Amino acid sequence: MSQLKISENGERFCQDVFDTMMQQSDAVYGVLISTVDGHDVTRKFKRDMPSAKLAAMFSSVLALGETIAREADQALCRYVIVENSDGYILTLKLKEKLVLSVIATTDANLGILHSICRSAADKLSKNLR
């Protein structure tokens, strides 16, 4: 897959959704949409982070989660949640060819973070082509 580009209106819409996510939880400090093959599409970070590297790793993490689910004889992988000493990373498929990843501090409530991600994913899926 070649690098995916979104329209100017699509970019504005994504940034509005990212802003809403960050307003709903102060713990969220990074949101990234990438392609399933690891290309950075759009992002919003409160800290300096390597978006191209993260996009590649997030797509790999989701692919691994999907493979594990299949090998464990379970249905589709919906989320991959990584809990770290400094926070959480939630990664989920957004449409067929996109991945949404959210990075948050340990101040995040995991249930609320999950809800914020699901709501954002629904909005983005309905409005991105």
The pLDDT tens digits for 85-107 are: 999 999 999 888 999 999 999 99
The pLDDT tens digits for 65-87 are: 999 999 999 988 889 999 999 99
pLDDT of residue 95: 84
| C-alpha span between 129 and 124 (Å, rounded) | 9
Calculate mean pLDDT across residues 2-12: 80
pLDDT of residue 1: 44
**Fold of the CATH domain 8-127:** Beta-Lactamase (3.30.450)
Identify the burial level of 79 via C-beta atoms within 10 angstroms of its C-beta, where 0-12 means exposed, 13-18 middle and 19 or more buried.
middle
